[in-house]
Structure 1
């Protein structure tokens, strides 16, 4: 269950109201984190591995700089993406799925429904990224296909099922960096299409969502070709 609190100028959502993760967030505000590794450090995104009394966690700080007006509009129309992701992750794990990486805390600096800064504490999954393997064997592909199917049955999507978002752990395949978008038929179909493209896992379900995605892709390609021809004819 997700609980909402306030800390300074942040709205904070915490899984199970766990004081431990609130403490980590306060350490972040006080610059007291023990950083073990920097995974990513660019202008708008910082992702680090931190050490705590309970072990390692991933801390992500996201401060979007571009498309501000578009983000403001989306925050009112589509809602809070990361809060939705937090709730969806909590829901599927409570329903028995153990392979998505857990999401423990989300802190947002908000004005009404628009957030300008996000701080997240996420489970760190020990193991090997699929991208670091020489090849994927049939057993690994079958396990990925099975777990992605379970994820879709529980109404959640990966949103980007490439090798970097699957970890081969001691407990089998874990799926990380999931999506908080609405898990409609088109997005589930896109997951399957991308699994075929990135992982060599054949898409065996060709439903209305699949044909909708394929049709839209073909239309975009046709429009792109027409634009290119118009440019060449000038």
Structure 2
């Protein structure tokens, strides 16, 4: 795990960058190298969403994940929240760097974020986590580790907001790490989604603010009632 000391932010033409300072790896150079070779790397989990791709790249016998996200948010409320809270990925790299500095090994590491103001594409470079995702019925078996992982994420104002086995990796040495995190919007409220999903799906209990839990339980109940009345839920 990297001991992040500094995140460098800079502008180069139309592209804004935030990347981890590392004496051994020049992530900006790695970014340029990938763009020059785009299309010659292994494509992972092709998304059904437009302009969203994930690649596996190898650099000096080290594996990295390179992600391209060209999705544009059209929902007005999400765009307003983004204006208020800042860019999702640039906030994410700062929070994950803080986790790494604290030597809290609970999630993936994000080394570079780039945003092309002309094409509206985001680019990210992550570490590759060796291991496998958890099966649904394994979530309870690793309940204590998952509870610890989610509680620590909440401490750093990060959430999963989609609790299932595919979003947790079991490493070869038996550690649980979270992937596919959320850090935008009203995090204090979204934490309650994690708590509700953990409780209802896997009987794992975590503490979140009372008001957030009350609001989310009400909205979840209202959605279920609405679906039932429309004949969309058994």
TM-score of the aligned structures, taking structure 1 as reference length: 0.81
Partner of 1:219: 222
Q: Offset at 1:71?
A: 6.2
Q: 1:187 to 1:70 in 2, by over 3 A?
A: closer
**Distance of aligned partners of 1:71 and 1:219 in 2 relative to their CA distance in 1, 3 Å threshold:** closer
- Asked if residue 3 in structure 1 is aligned to residue 3 in structure 2, the reply is no
Q: Which moved more, 1:145-154 or 1:182-191?
A: 182-191
- Of the candidates 8, 28, 32, which is equivalent to residue 34 of structure 2? 28
Cα deviations by residue, 1:22-53 (Å, 9 ceiling, x for unpaired): 11110122126752342224422011111111
Q: CA deviation at 1:83?
A: 0.8
CA distances 1:89-146 after superposition (whole Å, capped 9, x unpaired): 11122123112100000010127xxx81100001110101103x7x317551111112
Give yes or no for the alignment of 1:55 onto 2:58: no
- Gaps in structure 2 of 5+ consecutive residues: 1-5
Go from structure 1 to structure 2 and tell me whether the alpha carbon gap of 1:192 and 1:69 turns closer, same or farther (over 3 Å shift): closer
Q: Say which SS state the counterpart of residue 85 (structure 1) adopts.
A: helix
Q: 2:112–2:126: 8 Å Cα contact kept in structure 1?
A: yes
Task: Find the partner of 2:126 among 122, 127, 141.
Answer: 122
* CA contact 1:34–1:52 (8 Å) conserved in 2: no
How many aligned residue pairs are there?
Answer: 222
- CA distance in 2: counterparts of 1:7 and 1:159, whole angstroms: 34
* Structure 1: gaps (5+ residues): 230-234
Aligned to 1:151: 153
Tell me which protein shows more strand as a share of its residues: 1
Which one has the largest radius of gyration?
A: 1
- Superposition CA RMSD, Å: 2.9
Alignment match, 2:183: 180
Matches of 2:147 and 2:194, distance apart in 1: 11
Q: Is contact 2:82–2:185 with CA below 8 Å preserved after alignment? A: no
Contact in 1 for aligned 2:82/2:184 (Cα 8 Å):
no
User: 1:27 and 1:62 mapped to 2: Cα distance?
Assistant: 18
From 140, 143, 147, the equivalent of 1:141 is 143
| SS of 2:129 mapped into structure 1 | coil
